[in-house]
Homo-oligomer: A and B are copies of this chain.
């Protein structure tokens, strides 16, 4: 069985867990605290970040982008109409554009701030940056998430899913990042009804169930986190 080195609240790890779930692929989960920079983890990924997929043949694939391209190249065609990276060139460009948007921009402006300040810093040693959350950073993330929700709503005004009419990696990445923010109670769902309805759809998929059962010691999820009718 494959192994996914992840952290329960790492949004990039959650994206890959959703992708594996949609593909019906099982993977054993190994929790990593990337900030500890353990040599055995750096040997798997010199960049020192989660997720890292180690396949059945011990083949190592680090990072959300390389992993999702790898999964598509090795398992995508077998999914037929449920393939998560479309067959057509224009569809592929749009999915990859939105993967950059959520795994890059949303991460840099929202999910990394919130997960680092509220979760990771609880577990980090003081000399590695641990300590109480910085409220200015949290406020910036809470402001930024609003325009991202409106952008999701804008896309859904023209399409059933984020990159087109069918579910793709773009939906999984966006939902993965939002799920971390939602765990922390920081998604203002009233900002955009279309974004909320889309998230409720993705959240109801079987692939999402394991994420809704995640908990971090000492930090219970927000009340609506696992509620499918939030």
Contact = CB atoms under 8 A, between A and B. Distances in A.
Interface stretch (A69-77, A116-124, A210-218, A221-229): A69-77
Given A73-B89, A151-B46, A66 B96 contact: yes
A62 interface: yes
A65 interface: yes
Interface residues of A, number: 24
Contacts of A101: 46-47
Nearest to A61: B93
A120 B73 CA distance: 39
A59 B61 CA distance: 31
Contacts of A126: none
A64 B105 CA distance: 14
Given A89-B74, A90-B59, A101-B47, A65 B151 contact: no
A65 B65 CA distance: 9
12 contacts: A46-B101, A46-B151, A47-B97, A63-B96, A65-B100, A66-B96, A66-B97, A66-B100, A69-B69, A70-B92, A73-B92, A104-B104
